[in-house]
Amino acid sequence: MRNSALVIVDMQYDFIDGSLACRNADNAVKETLKYIDSQTKGQGGEEHEILDTFPILFTRDHHPADHSSFTGFGGTWPSHCVAGTRGGEIHEALLPYVNEELTFDKGCDRTVEQYSGFEGMNSAGQSLGEILELLDTTDVYVCGIATEFCVRNTCEDLLKAGFKVHLLKDCIAYVDHDGHLKALKEMAEEGIGIE
């Protein structure tokens, strides 16, 4: 039997309308909501029922204010997704689907830039990969921000761990359009389904 789950990568305000606003971000949020609806139709919208049949997991970029990826602290990115700020919050339209146990933070250590959500941790210290295994997941659907960085690294780690990975191409946002297309092409060559 196939068991599917959805992983929503870094759909946080700094990547949508904040310091690192990405292209197609508003549209990606809308398309993600449509996708969730299409997968959960007929379930009455009850959160627990949705979670039973189609778990939705979230990753968050979650940095301290002096993170080493920020300009001013040795890095190249503007300050973004600082823990406790609006920029670090998940878009409000998605909040009905957010569940603490299924929310995984990464980039928390100031010395490490962690693009992949795979090793992100929930508040109980469990990783995304660990929880997907506990859920007997075979197929992981991925959407979020940004194609070239966190989405790509998360997809590649999922693939390496043995999951079948399906990237929802209408539900992703990106830093650069050419970079996005190049990343999609390379991911397809690696065996990630672009759907």
**150 given a catalytic annotation:** yes
Catalytic residue among 143, 150, 155, 171: 150
**Nearest approach, Cβ of 107 to Zn ion (angstroms)?**
5
Q: Which of residues 70-129 bind Zn ion (CB under 5 A)?
A: 107
CA distance 186 to 83: 32
**Token pair belonging to 149:** 């960085």
Under the binding rule (CB under 6 A), the answer on residue 5 touching ligand VGL is: no
Q: Which of residues 19-78 bind ligand VGL (CB under 6 A)?
A: 61, 77
Contact between 157 and Zn ion by CB under 5 A: the answer reads no
Contact 28, 171 (CB under 8 A): yes
Q: Which of residues 53-72 bind Zn ion (CB under 5 A)?
A: 61
Q: What mask of x and - would describe binding to ligand VGL in positions 93 to 132, judged by CB under 6 A?
A: ----------------------------------------
Among 50, 98, 146, 192, binds ligand VGL (CB under 6 A): 146
- Beta strand 139-145 pairing with 4-9: parallel
SS3 93: helix
CB nearer to ligand VGL: give 50 or 187.
187
106 in active site: yes
The residue among 106, 105, 113, 109 whose CA lies nearest residue 70 is: 113
**Number of residues counted as binding ligand VGL (CB under 6 A):** 8
Strand ranges (E), the chain: 4-9, 56-61, 103-106, 139-145, 164-173, 193-194
Q: Compute the least distance from the CB of residue 160 to ligand VGL, in Å.
A: 18
Buried b (16+ CB within 10 A) or exposed e, 7-45: bbbbbbbbbbebbbbbbbbeebbebbbebbeeebeeeee
Q: Does 149 bind ligand VGL (CB under 6 A)?
A: yes
Q: Which of 10, 14, 61, 157 is the catalytic position? A: 10
Rounded Cα gap, residues 137 and 117, in angstroms: 16
> Which residue out of 22, 81, 106, 143 is catalytically annotated?
106
Active-site amino acid positions: 10, 106, 150
The binding site for Zn ion (CB under 5 A) comprises 61, 107
